[in-house]
Structure 1
Amino acid sequence: MGSEQHSGDGPARSLLSDSPHRDALLRALYDDASYGILLTGRDGRLQGCNAAGARMIGYEVDELIGRHFNEFTHPEDARVGADKLAEMVRGERRVVEFEKRYVHRDGSIVWVRLSVSTIRGLDGEIAQFLTYVDNITADTEQRQALERSERRLSGLLEGLPCLLLCLNADGVFLDYKASPYAQLYAPPGHFLGKQVAEVLPPPIAALLRDALRETVATRRVVEVEYVIEIGDAPRDFSARLAPYGDGEVVVLVTDISERKAAERDQAARKTAIIDAQREALQQLSTPLIPIADRVIAVPLIGPIDAERAEHVTTALLAGVAAHGAQTVILDITGVPDVSGEVAAKLIAATRAIR
C-alpha cells in the first residue's frame, strides 16, 4: 500500500519553487513596498532602488542608479553607521540598524532608519548590500520638538526658585522637576508615589486636595497660597494647578516669601502712615490755645462723635497737665450738633479736669 507525503507549506512552497511566479512575487514586493529598498555595490554605488526609496528623497529611480549613497546623505552623517557596517563585513553581525539624515532634492532633511544586510556570492564573499529604508522624519521631528520644549522648560526652571510637580486625580505625586534654587519640603524619595496627605501637614494637604479636585472638575487653572516651614523658618509658597493629560494635574510651586515679606512691610508702613495722619488730624481738630496764665481755650469745630469726644477728653487732661491750667474754656460754638452721648462725654471731661 503506497503512502503520500504532504508538505506543510502546500501551495506556498509550490509557488516559490516556480521560478516565474517567484520572480513575479519578489518583483511585486520590491516595486510595491511602502518603504525604500536599496541595492548597493561594495563601492557604495546604487545598483538598484525601488520607487518608494527614490520618491522618499525626490528622485526617479533611474536618476539614482550609479550614484554613491553619500551623494544624498547629509554631510554630517557621512560616517554614521560605518563602525556597524565594518562589523558586518567582518562577519560579526548579520544585520545592522542605525538612523541618519538624507537630503531631499528640494534641500529638506529626511530622517531615515536603515536596516542593512549583505548578499554574498557563490564564493561566500560580499557581493552587495541590501538596505531597507524607513522614513522616520515625522517621528524624529516630533521627538526633537519635545526635547526642545523640555530643554526650554528646564532652562526656565533652572533660573527660577520653582518646583514642577505632576499628580494624578487622587493626589499621588507622579513626577517632579526642581530648579537648583527650589527648596523641597521633603526629598523626592519621600514623596514620589505617595499622596499629599502622607507628605504635607494636614492643613496644606487639605488645601491642595480641594484645589486638585477643582482643577480636575473644571479643567481650569487654580491658584492657592500657603505657608510651610522649610528648615527652621516659615516660607510662603504659591501653587498653580493646571489640568494635564487624562486625569493628571501639573503644579507649579513658586517661593513667594520675599514678595509676601515686602507686602507685609508695605502694609505695616501704610498702617503707620494712616495712624500718624489720624493723630495729626485729631491734634488739629482739638487745638489747645493758652490765652492767659493757667488758662487754656479749646475751640471745637466740626461734628463730634463718641470717638472724637474721647480724644477731646484725653487732649484736655494732657493740656491741663502740660500747661498747669486752672481754667479751661471749652468753645463748642463751631459744633453743628451735639448728641446726648457726646454732651455727656464732654461734661465728664470737664469734671475730670476739676
Structure 2
Amino acid sequence: MTLRSIIGPGRYKHAALALLAAGLAVVAASLVPSRLDLGAEALRLCLQISVAVTVCALFLAYLFIGRISEDRRQITESEQRFRRAMEDSAIGIAIVSLDGRILQTNPAFATMLGYSRGEIEALTFFQITHPDDLQIGRETMAGLRAGTVDTFHFEKRYLKKDGTPVWANLAGSVIRDGRRGRPLYLVSQIEDIDARKQAEARITEAETRWNFALAGAGQGVWDFDIRKGGTTYSATWVK
C-alpha cells in the first residue's frame, strides 16, 4: 500500500506541492543572496517571503499528514470490525477471487465442510461444489466478471471433506474498485440448510409412498382445512 493509495491522487498532489514549495523557498533563500548583489532591505524582504512561504507550506503539509493519519485509523478500525463480524458469524462467510480461489473464510464455513481454515483456503470454490451445481457457479462468475451481475442468491450443494454433499443457501455480492468500478472479489454468505432439505425430502417421499398405497388399494382421500377453508384431494380421488 502506497501513500498515494491511502490519501488519494488529489490530496497526494496537493501535499507534494506544499512540500515542494517549502523546499523551493529554502533553496531560494540560500541561493539568491549569493547570486545577486542585494541591499540589506531587499535581502531582508527576500528572507521574510521565503520564511512565510516555508511556514505556510509546512502548515499545509502538517494538515495533510493529520488527514492521512485519520484516514489510516478509520481504515484500520473498519478492517477490525469486518474481521470481528466475520470471525463471530454463525453462518459461513468466504471471500473469493473472480477465478474461484478461496482467499479467506471464517470458522463457521470451514467447520460446515469439515476442513481446517488452512485446508479450505488452499482450494477453489469449484473443488468443493457438487458436480451437478458447477454450471450455475460458472455462469454466476462469468456474469460478475462481465458486470451483468452484482449480487447472487441461490441454493446449491457443497462437498464436505469426506465427499458427503451438503445443501446450502448461498448469497453474496461483488466488491468493486471505488475509482474504476472494476470487480475485485466476491463476499459470500453460506447458510447450512441441509437439515431442512432432508426434512423436505422425507416429506416428499412419504407423500409418494402414501399416494402409491392409495393407488394400489383403489382408494381416494380428501382433507378439509378448517382454518384456511380449503380442501385437498388425493390423486386417486381426482381420478
Tell me the TM-score normalised to structure 1 length: 0.43
Q: 1:70 aligns with which of 126, 131, 147?
A: 126
Which residue identity does 2:131 align to in structure 1?
P
Higher helix share: 2
CA deviation profile, 1:5-39 (whole Å, cap 9, x unmatched):
xxxxxxxxx9xx83333222111101111111111
Tell me which residue corresponds to 1:167: 224
Tell me which residue corresponds to 2:176: 120
Higher strand share: 1
Query: In the superposition, relative to structure 1, how do residues 177 and 46 fare at CA in structure 2: closer, same or farther (>3 Å)?
Result: same
The answer to whether the aligner puts 1:79 opposite 2:135 as a matched pair is yes
CA positional deviation for 1:44: 0.9
CA positional deviation for 1:104: 1.3
SS in 2 for 1:93: coil
Tell me which residue corresponds to 1:154: 211
Tell me which residue corresponds to 1:205: none
Tell me which residue corresponds to 1:28: 84
Query: In the superposition, relative to structure 1, how do residues 19 and 149 fare at CA in structure 2: closer, same or farther (>3 Å)?
Result: same
CA positional deviation for 1:88: 3.7
Whether the 8 Å contact between 2:98 and 2:145 is mirrored in structure 1 is no
Give the whole-Å Cα distance in 2 for the aligned partners of 1:71 and 1:116: 19
SS in 1 for 2:220: strand
SS in 2 for 1:70: coil
Whether the 8 Å contact between 1:165 and 1:173 is mirrored in structure 2 is no
Whether the 8 Å contact between 2:92 and 2:106 is mirrored in structure 1 is yes
Tell me which residue corresponds to 2:98: 42
CA positional deviation for 1:148: 1.2
Give the whole-Å Cα distance in 1 for the aligned partners of 2:175 and 2:146: 14
Give the whole-Å Cα distance in 2 for the aligned partners of 1:183 and 1:63: 55
The answer to whether the aligner puts 1:134 opposite 2:191 as a matched pair is yes
Query: In the superposition, relative to structure 1, how do residues 164 and 132 fare at CA in structure 2: closer, same or farther (>3 Å)?
Result: same
Q: 2:162 aligns with which of 98, 106, 119?
A: 106
CA deviation profile, 1:41-98 (whole Å, cap 9, x unmatched):
1221111111111111011111122311121212222223433443343333321111
Query: In the superposition, relative to structure 1, how do residues 22 and 169 fare at CA in structure 2: closer, same or farther (>3 Å)?
Result: closer
Any stretches of 5+ residues in structure 2 without a counterpart?
Answer: 1-69
SS in 2 for 1:23: helix
Which residue identity does 1:123 align to in structure 2?
R
Give the whole-Å Cα distance in 2 for the aligned partners of 1:51 and 1:183: 52
CA positional deviation for 1:107: 3.0
Whether the 8 Å contact between 1:85 and 1:96 is mirrored in structure 2 is no
Give the whole-Å Cα distance in 2 for the aligned partners of 1:154 and 1:146: 12
CA positional deviation for 1:166: 1.0
SS in 2 for 1:78: helix
Which residue identity does 1:144 align to in structure 2?
A
Higher relative contact order (CA 8 A, sep 6+): 2
Query: In the superposition, relative to structure 1, how do residues 162 and 26 fare at CA in structure 2: closer, same or farther (>3 Å)?
Result: same
Percentage of pairs with the same residue:
27
CA positional deviation for 1:163: 1.0
**Aligned length in residues:** 166
Query: In the superposition, relative to structure 1, how do residues 80 and 148 fare at CA in structure 2: closer, same or farther (>3 Å)?
Result: farther
CA deviation profile, 1:229-264 (whole Å, cap 9, x unmatched):
xxxxxxxxxxxxxxxxxxxxxxxxxxxxxxxxxxxx
Any stretches of 5+ residues in structure 1 without a counterpart?
Answer: 1-13, 185-354
CA positional deviation for 1:183: 7.5
Give the whole-Å Cα distance in 1 for the aligned partners of 2:147 and 2:99: 18
CA positional deviation for 1:168: 4.9
Whether the 8 Å contact between 1:37 and 1:131 is mirrored in structure 2 is yes
Q: Which runs of 4+ in 1 moved over 4 A?
A: none
Give the whole-Å Cα distance in 1 for the aligned partners of 2:125 and 2:138: 13
Which residue identity does 2:112 align to in structure 1?
M
Give the whole-Å Cα distance in 1 for the aligned partners of 2:238 and 2:152: 47
Give the whole-Å Cα distance in 1 for the aligned partners of 2:85 and 2:238: 61
CA positional deviation for 1:111: 0.7
Which residue identity does 2:162 align to in structure 1?
D
Tell me the TM-score normalised to structure 2 length: 0.61
Tell me which residue corresponds to 2:43: none
